Protein backbone atom coordinates (compact mmCIF):
# COMPACT_ATOMS: atom_id res chain seq x y z
CA UNK A 1 0.00 0.00 0.00
CA UNK A 2 1.12 3.56 -0.58
CA UNK A 3 1.71 5.60 2.56
CA UNK A 4 -0.51 8.33 1.09
CA UNK A 5 -3.39 5.83 0.95
CA UNK A 6 -2.77 4.79 4.56
CA UNK A 7 -2.77 8.45 5.66
CA UNK A 8 -6.09 9.01 3.88
CA UNK A 9 -7.62 5.89 5.45
CA UNK A 10 -6.62 7.14 8.91
CA UNK A 11 -8.43 10.42 8.32
CA UNK A 12 -11.53 8.74 6.91
CA UNK A 13 -11.61 6.16 9.72
CA UNK A 14 -11.28 8.80 12.44
CA UNK A 15 -14.26 10.68 11.00
CA UNK A 16 -16.32 7.47 10.77
CA UNK A 17 -15.57 6.52 14.38
CA UNK A 18 -16.43 10.00 15.62
CA UNK A 19 -19.68 9.81 13.68
CA UNK A 20 -20.58 6.82 15.86
CA UNK A 21 -19.44 8.43 19.12
CA UNK A 22 -16.00 6.82 19.48
CA UNK A 23 -12.95 9.01 20.15
CA UNK A 24 -9.44 7.56 20.01
CA UNK A 25 -6.95 8.10 22.86
CA UNK A 26 -4.53 11.06 22.65
CA UNK A 27 -1.52 9.00 21.52
CA UNK A 28 -3.40 8.13 18.33
CA UNK A 29 -2.82 11.66 17.07
CA UNK A 30 0.88 11.95 17.88
CA UNK A 31 3.21 12.75 15.03
CA UNK A 32 5.97 10.18 14.39
CA UNK A 33 8.43 12.52 16.11
CA UNK A 34 6.26 12.85 19.23
CA UNK A 35 5.66 9.10 19.25
CA UNK A 36 9.40 8.39 19.27
CA UNK A 37 9.87 10.79 22.18
CA UNK A 38 6.85 9.85 24.28
CA UNK A 39 5.81 6.26 23.62
CA UNK A 40 6.84 3.74 26.26
CA UNK A 41 6.49 -0.04 26.64
CA UNK A 42 2.80 0.26 27.47
CA UNK A 43 2.23 1.31 23.88
CA UNK A 44 5.13 -0.20 21.96
CA UNK A 45 5.39 -3.64 23.57
CA UNK A 46 1.62 -3.99 23.81
CA UNK A 47 1.42 -3.03 20.11
CA UNK A 48 -1.56 -0.77 20.57
CA UNK A 49 -2.38 1.81 17.91
CA UNK A 50 -3.15 2.09 14.19
CA UNK A 51 -3.25 -1.05 12.04
CA UNK A 52 -4.27 -0.94 8.37
CA UNK A 53 -3.81 -4.01 6.21
CA UNK A 54 -4.39 -5.19 2.67
CA UNK A 55 -3.01 -8.61 3.67
CA UNK A 56 -0.11 -8.01 1.29
CA UNK A 57 -2.35 -8.34 -1.76
CA UNK A 58 -2.59 -4.69 -2.85
CA UNK A 59 -6.41 -4.68 -3.10
CA UNK A 60 -7.44 -2.86 0.08
CA UNK A 61 -11.01 -1.99 -0.98
CA UNK A 62 -11.70 -5.64 -1.81
CA UNK A 63 -9.44 -7.46 0.66
CA UNK A 64 -8.46 -5.45 3.70
CA UNK A 65 -9.33 -4.15 7.15
CA UNK A 66 -8.87 -1.08 9.33
CA UNK A 67 -8.06 -1.72 13.00
CA UNK A 68 -7.07 0.33 16.03
CA UNK A 69 -5.92 -1.60 19.08
CA UNK A 70 -7.06 0.39 22.12
CA UNK A 71 -5.63 -1.82 24.87
CA UNK A 72 -3.80 -5.12 25.06
CA UNK A 73 -2.53 -7.27 27.90
CA UNK A 74 0.49 -9.52 28.14
CA UNK A 75 0.64 -13.07 26.83
CA UNK A 76 2.50 -14.07 29.99
CA UNK A 77 -0.47 -12.91 32.09
CA UNK A 78 -2.84 -14.92 29.93
CA UNK A 79 -0.67 -18.01 30.25
CA UNK A 80 -0.56 -17.76 34.06
CA UNK A 81 -4.27 -16.92 34.29
CA UNK A 82 -4.16 -13.57 36.03
CA UNK A 83 -3.25 -9.97 35.32
CA UNK A 84 -4.24 -8.05 32.19
CA UNK A 85 -5.60 -10.92 30.11
CA UNK A 86 -7.74 -8.87 27.72
CA UNK A 87 -7.60 -6.66 24.63
CA UNK A 88 -9.93 -4.27 22.84
CA UNK A 89 -10.02 -3.03 19.26
CA UNK A 90 -12.10 -0.91 16.95
CA UNK A 91 -12.33 -2.11 13.34
CA UNK A 92 -13.93 -0.80 10.18
CA UNK A 93 -15.05 -3.20 7.49
CA UNK A 94 -16.03 -1.40 4.32
CA UNK A 95 -18.93 -2.50 2.14
CA UNK A 96 -18.02 -5.81 0.48
CA UNK A 97 -14.45 -5.58 1.82
CA UNK A 98 -13.41 -9.09 2.81
CA UNK A 99 -11.42 -9.94 5.92
CA UNK A 100 -10.34 -13.41 4.79
CA UNK A 101 -10.95 -16.80 6.36
CA UNK A 102 -8.81 -17.31 9.47
CA UNK A 103 -8.79 -18.70 12.99
CA UNK A 104 -6.90 -18.00 16.20
CA UNK A 105 -4.84 -20.43 18.24
CA UNK A 106 -5.30 -18.78 21.67
CA UNK A 107 -7.54 -15.75 21.29
CA UNK A 108 -11.24 -15.81 22.12
CA UNK A 109 -13.11 -12.75 20.89
CA UNK A 110 -16.45 -11.02 20.84
CA UNK A 111 -17.14 -9.34 17.49
CA UNK A 112 -19.69 -6.54 17.95
CA UNK A 113 -21.47 -4.45 15.36
CA UNK A 114 -21.04 -0.96 16.85
CA UNK A 115 -22.84 0.91 14.09
CA UNK A 116 -23.33 1.43 10.39
CA UNK A 117 -24.53 -1.30 8.03
CA UNK A 118 -24.80 -5.06 8.59
CA UNK A 119 -21.77 -7.15 9.45
CA UNK A 120 -21.82 -10.54 7.73
CA UNK A 121 -19.70 -13.49 8.85
CA UNK A 122 -18.99 -16.87 7.30
CA UNK A 123 -18.14 -19.27 10.15
CA UNK A 124 -16.90 -22.86 10.32
CA UNK A 125 -15.47 -25.22 12.87
CA UNK A 126 -12.09 -26.92 12.64
CA UNK A 127 -11.45 -30.40 11.27
CA UNK A 128 -9.22 -32.71 13.36
CA UNK A 129 -6.15 -31.49 11.44
CA UNK A 130 -7.06 -27.83 12.14
CA UNK A 131 -8.28 -27.05 8.63
CA UNK A 132 -11.68 -25.56 7.78
CA UNK A 133 -14.53 -28.03 8.27
CA UNK A 134 -17.06 -27.03 5.61
CA UNK A 135 -19.16 -30.16 6.05
CA UNK A 136 -20.38 -29.78 9.64
CA UNK A 137 -22.73 -27.25 11.24
CA UNK A 138 -21.26 -24.96 13.86
CA UNK A 139 -22.67 -23.38 17.02
CA UNK A 140 -21.62 -19.94 18.24
CA UNK A 141 -22.93 -17.74 21.07
CA UNK A 142 -24.69 -14.58 19.87
CA UNK A 143 -25.33 -12.14 22.71
CA UNK A 144 -25.47 -15.04 25.17
CA UNK A 145 -27.72 -17.32 23.09
CA UNK A 146 -26.44 -20.23 21.03
CA UNK A 147 -26.91 -19.97 17.28
CA UNK A 148 -26.57 -23.06 15.09
CA UNK A 149 -25.37 -22.38 11.56
CA UNK A 150 -25.64 -24.83 8.68
CA UNK A 151 -22.47 -25.33 6.61
CA UNK A 152 -21.97 -22.19 4.51
CA UNK A 153 -24.79 -20.27 6.20
CA UNK A 154 -23.97 -16.60 6.73
CA UNK A 155 -24.47 -14.86 10.07
CA UNK A 156 -25.67 -11.26 9.71
CA UNK A 157 -25.26 -8.92 12.68
CA UNK A 158 -27.23 -5.66 12.87
CA UNK A 159 -25.90 -2.73 14.94
CA UNK A 160 -25.80 -3.78 18.60
CA UNK A 161 -25.55 -7.50 17.89
CA UNK A 162 -22.49 -9.63 18.52
CA UNK A 163 -20.98 -13.09 18.19
CA UNK A 164 -18.41 -14.89 20.35
CA UNK A 165 -15.67 -16.76 18.48
CA UNK A 166 -13.58 -19.23 20.46
CA UNK A 167 -10.10 -20.45 19.44
CA UNK A 168 -10.25 -22.76 16.44
CA UNK A 169 -13.42 -21.21 14.96
CA UNK A 170 -12.75 -20.20 11.36
CA UNK A 171 -14.31 -16.92 10.26
CA UNK A 172 -14.33 -14.37 7.46
CA UNK A 173 -16.40 -11.16 7.44
CA UNK A 174 -17.40 -8.08 5.45
CA UNK A 175 -19.76 -5.12 5.52
CA UNK A 176 -23.07 -5.52 3.70
CA UNK A 177 -24.99 -2.47 2.49
CA UNK A 178 -22.34 -0.01 3.71
CA UNK A 179 -19.39 0.41 6.04
CA UNK A 180 -19.50 -1.12 9.54
CA UNK A 181 -17.85 -0.03 12.78
CA UNK A 182 -16.86 -3.17 14.68
CA UNK A 183 -15.85 -3.62 18.29
CA UNK A 184 -13.59 -6.47 19.29
CA UNK A 185 -13.23 -7.51 22.94
CA UNK A 186 -10.90 -10.46 23.38
CA UNK A 187 -8.25 -12.23 25.36
CA UNK A 188 -4.70 -10.97 24.77
CA UNK A 189 -4.05 -10.23 21.11
CA UNK A 190 -0.92 -11.32 19.23
CA UNK A 191 -1.26 -10.58 15.53
CA UNK A 192 2.26 -11.79 14.76
CA UNK A 193 1.75 -15.42 15.82
CA UNK A 194 -1.91 -16.12 16.63
CA UNK A 195 -3.52 -15.73 13.19
CA UNK A 196 -3.88 -18.81 10.98
CA UNK A 197 -5.14 -17.95 7.48
CA UNK A 198 -6.67 -20.50 5.15
CA UNK A 199 -5.01 -18.90 2.12
CA UNK A 200 -1.26 -18.17 2.08
CA UNK A 201 -1.45 -14.41 2.67
CA UNK A 202 0.31 -11.96 4.96
CA UNK A 203 -1.15 -10.23 8.01
CA UNK A 204 0.59 -6.89 7.37
CA UNK A 205 1.00 -4.65 4.33
CA UNK A 206 4.12 -3.84 2.37
CA UNK A 207 4.30 -0.04 2.36
CA UNK A 208 5.47 2.21 -0.46
CA UNK A 209 6.77 5.41 1.14
CA UNK A 210 5.42 8.02 -1.28
CA UNK A 211 4.86 10.61 1.50
CA UNK A 212 5.68 10.94 5.23
CA UNK A 213 3.44 9.05 7.68
CA UNK A 214 0.70 11.03 9.40
CA UNK A 215 0.86 8.64 12.36
CA UNK A 216 2.84 5.45 12.86
CA UNK A 217 1.28 2.07 12.32
CA UNK A 218 1.87 -0.73 14.82
CA UNK A 219 3.91 -2.42 12.09
CA UNK A 220 6.15 0.71 11.91
CA UNK A 221 7.19 0.66 15.57
CA UNK A 222 10.30 -1.50 15.43
CA UNK A 223 11.83 0.23 12.41
CA UNK A 224 10.88 3.76 13.49
CA UNK A 225 12.19 3.38 17.03
CA UNK A 226 15.43 1.78 15.85
CA UNK A 227 16.20 4.71 13.53
Going from N- to C-terminal start, the domains of the chain cover 3-226
CA atoms within 13 A on the CB side of 43: 22
Per-residue pLDDT, 182: 98
3-226 topology per CATH:
Jelly Rolls (2.60.120)
Contacts of 103 (CB under 8 A, 6+ apart): 126, 130, 167, 168, 169, 170, 171, 196
Q: How far apart are CA 16 and CA 33, in angstroms?
A: 26
Contact criterion met (CB below 8 Å) for 53 and 46? no
pLDDT of residue 215: 98
Q: How far lies 151's CA from each of 124, 125, 170, 178, 184, in Å?
A: 7, 9, 12, 25, 24
Per-residue pLDDT of the chain (227 residues; tens, 9 = 90+): 999 999 999 999 999 999 999 999 999 999 999 999 999 999 999 999 999 999 999 999 999 999 999 999 998 888 888 999 999 999 999 999 999 999 999 999 999 999 999 999 999 999 999 999 999 999 999 999 999 999 999 999 999 999 999 999 999 999 999 999 999 999 999 988 899 999 988 888 889 999 999 999 999 998 888 76
Contact 36, 225 (CB under 8 A): yes
Quote the pLDDT of residue 15: 98
In this predicted structure, what is the pLDDT of residue 47? 95
Distance between alpha carbon 117 and the CA centroid of its chain, in Å?
A: 18
Amino acid sequence: MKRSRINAIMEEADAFMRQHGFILPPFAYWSPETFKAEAGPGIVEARIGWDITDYGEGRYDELGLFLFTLRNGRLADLQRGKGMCYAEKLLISKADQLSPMHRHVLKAEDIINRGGASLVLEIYGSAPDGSVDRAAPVEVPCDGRMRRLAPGEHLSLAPGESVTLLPGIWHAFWGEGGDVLIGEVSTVNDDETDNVFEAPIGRFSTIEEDEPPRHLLVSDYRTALAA
